[in-house]
Amino acid sequence: IKEILIEKVREGVEVRLFYDDVGSIGFINPNFEYRMEALGIQCRAFNPVTPIINIFMNNRDHRKITVIDGKVGFTGGYNLANEYFHITEPYGHWKDTGVKLEGDAVKNLTVSFLEMWNSVRKRNSTNDTCYDKYLPDIEYKGEDEGFVQPYGDSPLDHEQTGENVYMSILKDAKRYCYFITPYLVLTDEMQREMEMAAKRGVDVRIITPGVPDKKIVYLVTRSFYTRLCQNGVRILEYTPGFCHAKMCVSDDEIATVGTINLDYRSLYLHFENGCFMYDSKAVMDVKKDFLETFKQCDDVTMRYSIRRSLPVRIVQCVLRLLAPLL
């Protein structure tokens, strides 16, 4: 990837790289920004780690956005790391998903990127106050008559957009509603909405990893299984390895693909983004991916429908106290 970016710089392309500092700790050196700048790649780190207590350190940039010439955009669960491309597989087969956009919808991704870019002010640099040159008029004639809307979520506007999208889909579901998430650390509101949907006859299923990347979070994830299963929600674990995808699809009509996990951090603390699709052909692509993934999962619903032993329940209660921190 670096070689390609260098090649594009030499061709005169404006190349920018924006990353979250905490998410990259242990993977890149402190002088990474300077090395990229020396190659002609503009580079900024969001919310750099400082050795002092800072409440804002809890707010990380979890968005994944790629925009090319304002005409093509990508988003989804993919980070730039070896396991996402199966160069290494420390947690078994790594499953992820993304969406490619063309047309006017790309403008939302462009603006989202520039807003985050401008949130970091570097010495002797000017921020982009005018976005017009990055928002070209595009003549795009697609065959899809559906509605596609990229959206962002910020912890600073007191609007839980990510959670609201998921809950709205659940509220409107009539036949089925499927989720896939690497972490299941639910708010009470989200858990109740899932249970209510299942009780009114909606087929609610959640895919979680079969191989954890963070063992403590995995234990907390499993602590939510029993109540969900006892109230009609089906839980399936992805047996080949770790699923990092964040998707939801419902009733062959609505789907969303993005960066938003079903956990407190994604829903309340991080800068996130997603792509909402309604009555679009891509909705059925998302459903197809779910149906194929179900075949590779272990349905643990019956196993967790049984009331757990007292020691297990005590451990789960302790773990749930940590849930808002995870």
Active-site entry in 2, 69, 100, 299? 69
Residue 288 annotated in active site: no
297 in Cβ contact with 237 (< 8 Å): yes
Torsion angle (degrees, nearest 10) of CA 248, 175, 291, 284: -70
Active-site entry in 20, 61, 62, 107? 62
Count Cβ neighbours within 10 Å for each residue of 227-252 and write b for 16 or more, e otherwise: ebbebbbbbbbbebbbbbbbbbbbbe
Question: What's the start-to-end Cα distance of the chain, in Å?
Answer: 31
Active-site entry in 172, 203, 213, 251? 251
What distance in Å separates the CA atoms of residue 117 and residue 129, rounded to the nearest whole number?
Answer: 11
What letter would DSSP give residue 81? S
C-alpha of 142 from chain center: 26
Give 80: exposed, middle or buried? Use CB within 10 Å, 0-12, 13-18, 19+.
middle
Active-site entry in 95, 246, 270, 287? 246
216: how many CB neighbours lie within 10 A of its CB? 11
Residue 251 annotated in active site: yes
254 in Cβ contact with 283 (< 8 Å): yes
Residue 263 annotated in active site: no
Active-site entry in 244, 263, 287, 289? 244
Active-site entry in 61, 64, 96, 263? 64
Residue 244 annotated in active site: yes
Element housing 35 (H / E): helix 32-38
The residue written with tokens 């650390």 in the block is 185
Enumerate the active-site residues: 62, 64, 69, 244, 246, 251
